């Protein structure tokens, strides 16, 4: 049976993904479709409701995304938000004024009808987040106006008989404290959708889909130590048991404890068959004498593919494998506009004796999921907390957090400092506020210090704690002084080569999150 799905029509400006996430938080599955999707195509997908997102355009702009009024003849419940609200008002015969009425940011919403389906029973005045230029001045025929603001007369309307409603504000953002309740009411009460998208149902459906796809076949999955590959592998393991082989390349650029987390904890939690490749020496040799960041990245990427190929060839020597598991997430799918299901691992250099092109069919068990859902699924599958909660960590690992040449000693130094910083941040309960906190070793810089009776000539490490929604932009996290003090004291005492700890207070832009 097809999962009951809400389609979010994307009018731009990054609201659509947030709306889809909020719908799923109300236990209803949702997907995003572009504004250009024809109504016939929407109907063919049999959605249980449609939500029209906000967007930057004015409904009067020449290139404003169009809304086909035929959508409202289909009987599908529709909720319009912000731009979607105005487009809906216009399409149904209401009036939208291009009169310079603007509201941006926190605004008070006043209920004009306290018995409405979306807002009834909520405080008669409450804050919402607005962001609009035009405004709806007359609701379409058959709609009840249920809220206004100080500047706009029509801030929400509904026609519950036709299961249509809209709000001028953004219920999906945290600045609208009752927004989630309003979305929930639309989905459950107005549209009558049963809340069925739960962690348990995600796992059941995904496992069924993997079994259907892989059949009696075998699969291989590369683990990185991060949450996506671990959860993808755990789901496939649950579906096909030891017909899955996991491959873990230890390139020596991991942080303290990460190899053990995969080899011991992940395996204990899932029972997965794991093939670990010890490749530290190979990576260090390839990186010897290299300081240029782009060259480091290239070398690490190249070596990784080679080592993975060798490992794959080892597995292929024993069994036939048709499927390659990848941890692609829903935002990647949306942003790349879909995508196909076959990957070719090209054996560029034929080091592993693979045939010229080994073709695998991709298994992407996380393709429908947002990151927070992946974490919840991972926790439900019993994966170790350290893996499930792991902050983003770049593929080239500590290799791009040593400014200068990468050597075994420098890795040891950085690993020790990084472990202390992570330990103290976790102990202080700050993990939730921090997107990630790279610790960077300035290996080519030395500064004078004094420790005990002697002068030292050690290296600085940089703490780069950032807060972010998506890593595209970021701000430096205002860490409490006492936490910084504990990290600084411990690092300079416990890590021999480090005699200074400095804090990076640069936002992104202009600074990137990583230093290389």
Among 124, 344, 489, 512, binds ligand XMP (CB under 6 A): 512
Q: Distance between CA atoms of 498 and 495, rounded to whole angstroms?
A: 6
The one catalytic residue among 132, 170, 251, 459: 170
Q: Does 392 bind ligand XMP (CB under 6 A)?
A: yes
Phi–psi pair at 185, nearest 5 degrees? -65, -40
- x/- letters, 442..461, toward ligand XMP (CB under 6 A): --------------------
Residue 175, judged by CB atoms within 10 A of its CB (0-12, 13-18, 19+), counts as: middle
224 is in an annotated binding site: yes
DSSP 70: G
Report the residue number, 160 or 506, with the smaller CB distance to ligand XMP: 506
Q: Does 328 bind ligand XMP (CB under 6 A)?
A: no
315 is in an annotated binding site: no
User: Is 424 among the catalytic positions?
Assistant: no
DSSP 471: S
Q: Distance between CA atoms of 137 and 155, rounded to whole angstroms?
A: 9
Region from 98-106, 392-400, 412-420, 421-429 binding ligand XMP, contact rule CB under 6 A: 392-400
Q: Does 371 bind ligand XMP (CB under 6 A)?
A: no
DSSP 436: B
Report the residue number, 77 or 252, with the smaller CB distance to ligand XMP: 252
The one catalytic residue among 103, 158, 172, 516: 172
Q: Distance between CA atoms of 78 and 8, rounded to whole angstroms?
A: 10
Q: Does 396 bind ligand XMP (CB under 6 A)?
A: yes
Report the residue number, 91 or 437, with the smaller CB distance to ligand XMP: 437
Minimal distance, residue 396 CB to ligand XMP, in Å: 5
Q: Does 465 bind ligand XMP (CB under 6 A)?
A: no
Minimal distance, residue 436 CB to ligand XMP, in Å: 6
Minimal distance, residue 435 CB to ligand XMP, in Å: 7
Instruction: State the first-to-last Cα distance of the chain, in angstroms, to the nearest integer.
Output: 48
Report the residue number, 76 or 439, with the smaller CB distance to ligand XMP: 439
Q: Does 471 bind ligand XMP (CB under 6 A)?
A: yes
* Pairing relationship of beta strands 342-346 and 244-250 according to DSSP bridges: unpaired
Contacts of 276 (CB under 8 A, 6+ apart): 247, 248, 250, 259, 262, 263
Q: Does 514 bind ligand XMP (CB under 6 A)?
A: yes
Q: Does 513 bind ligand XMP (CB under 6 A)?
A: yes
Q: Which two tokens stand for residue 231?
A: 């959860």
Q: Distance between CA atoms of 49 and 67, rounded to whole angstroms?
A: 16
Q: Does 297 bind ligand XMP (CB under 6 A)?
A: yes
Q: Does 395 bind ligand XMP (CB under 6 A)?
A: yes
Minimal distance, residue 255 CB to ligand XMP, in Å: 12
* Long-range CB contacts (within 8 A, 24+) of 258-265: 258/225, 259/225, 261/225, 261/384, 261/386, 261/387, 262/223, 262/225, 262/230, 262/387, 265/383, 265/384, 265/386, 265/387
Report the residue number, 446 or 508, with the smaller CB distance to ligand XMP: 508
230 is in an annotated binding site: yes
Phi–psi pair at 81, nearest 5 degrees? -125, 130
Minimal distance, residue 2 CB to ligand XMP, in Å: 34
Contacts of 228 (CB under 8 A, 6+ apart): 327, 329, 366, 371, 374
Minimal distance, residue 96 CB to ligand XMP, in Å: 39
Minimal distance, residue 515 CB to ligand XMP, in Å: 8
The radius of gyration of the chain's CA atoms, rounded to the nearest angstrom, is: 27
Minimal distance, residue 440 CB to ligand XMP, in Å: 11
Q: Does 397 bind ligand XMP (CB under 6 A)?
A: no
Q: Does 489 bind ligand XMP (CB under 6 A)?
A: no
User: Is 246 among the catalytic positions?
Assistant: no
Q: Does 394 bind ligand XMP (CB under 6 A)?
A: yes
Residue from 282, 274, 369, 259 nearest 315 by CA: 274
Alpha helices (runs of H) in 127-248, residue ranges in sequence order: 179-184, 199-214, 227-240
Region from 243-251, 309-317, 342-350, 391-399 binding ligand XMP, contact rule CB under 6 A: 391-399
Contacts of 509 (CB under 8 A, 6+ apart): 473
User: Is 319 among the catalytic positions?
Assistant: no
Q: Does 436 bind ligand XMP (CB under 6 A)?
A: yes
Q: Where is the binding site for ATP, in residues?
A: 224-230
Residues that bind ligand XMP (CB under 6 A): 297, 392, 394-396, 436, 471, 508, 512-514
Residues with a known catalytic role: 82, 170, 172
């Amino acid at each position: 049976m097809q999962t009951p799905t809400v389609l979010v029509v994307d009018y731009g400006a990054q609201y659509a993904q947030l709306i889809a996430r909020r719908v799923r938080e109300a236990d209803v599955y949702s997907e995003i479709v572009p504004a250009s999707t024809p109504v016939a195509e929407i109907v063919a997908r049999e959605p249980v409701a449609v939500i029209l997102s906000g967007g930057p355009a004015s409904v009067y702009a020449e290139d404003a995304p169009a809304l086909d009024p035929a959508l409202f003849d289909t009987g599908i419940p529709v909720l319009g938000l912000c731009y979607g609200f105005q487009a809906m008002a216009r399409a149904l015969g209401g009036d939208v004024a291009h009169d310079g009425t603007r509201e941006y940011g926190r605004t008070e919403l006043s209920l004009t009808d306290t018995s409405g389906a979306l807002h009834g029973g909520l405080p008669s005045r409450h804050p919402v987040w607005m962001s609009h230029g035009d405004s709806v001045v007359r609701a379409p025929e058959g709609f009840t106006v249920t809220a206004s603001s100080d500047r706009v007369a029509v801030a929400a309307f509904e026609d519950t008989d036709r299961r249509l409603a809209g709000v001028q504000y953004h219920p999906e953002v945290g600045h609208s404290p009752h927004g989630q309740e309003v979305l929930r009411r639309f989905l459950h009460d107005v549209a009558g959708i049963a809340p069925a998208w739960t962690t348990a149902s995600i796992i059941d459906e995904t496992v069924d889909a993997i079994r259907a796809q892989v059949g009696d076949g075998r699969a291989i999955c590369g683990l990185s130590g991060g949450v996506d590959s671990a959860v993808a592998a755990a789901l496939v393991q649950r579906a096909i048991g030891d017909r899955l082989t996991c491959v873990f390349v230890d390139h020596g650029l991991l942080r303290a404890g990460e190899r053990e987390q995969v080899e011991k904890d992940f395996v204990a939690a899932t029972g997965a068959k794991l093939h670990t490749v010890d490749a530290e020496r190979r990576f260090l040799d390839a990186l010897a004498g290299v300081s240029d960041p782009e060259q480091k990245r290239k070398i690490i990427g190249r070596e990784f593919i080679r080592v993975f190929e060798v490992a794959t060839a080892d597995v292929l020597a024993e069994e036939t494998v048709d499927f390659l598991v990848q941890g692609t997430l829903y935002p990647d799918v949306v942003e790349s506009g879909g995508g196909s299901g076959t990957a070719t691992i090209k054996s560029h250099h034929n080091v592993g004796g693979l045939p010229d092109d080994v073709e695998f069919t991709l298994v992407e068990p996380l393709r429908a999921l947002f990151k927070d859902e992946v974490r919840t699924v991972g926790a439900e599958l019993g994966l170790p907390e350290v893996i499930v909660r792991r902050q983003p960590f770049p593929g080239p690992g500590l290799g791009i957090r040593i400014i200068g040449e990468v050597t075994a000693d420098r890795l040891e130094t950085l690993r020790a400092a990084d472990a202390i910083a992570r330990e103290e941040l976790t102990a202080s309960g700050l993990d939730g506020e921090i997107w990630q906190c790279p610790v960077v070793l300035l290996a080519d810089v030395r500064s004078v210090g004094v420790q005990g009776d002697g002068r030292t000539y050690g290296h600085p490490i940089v703490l780069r704690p950032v807060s972010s929604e998506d890593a595209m932009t970021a701000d430096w996290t205002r860490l409490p002084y006492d936490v910084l003090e504990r990290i600084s004291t411990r690092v300079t005492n416990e890590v021999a080569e480090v005699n200074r700890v400095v804090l990076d207070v640069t936002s992104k832009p202009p600074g990137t999150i990583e230093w290389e």
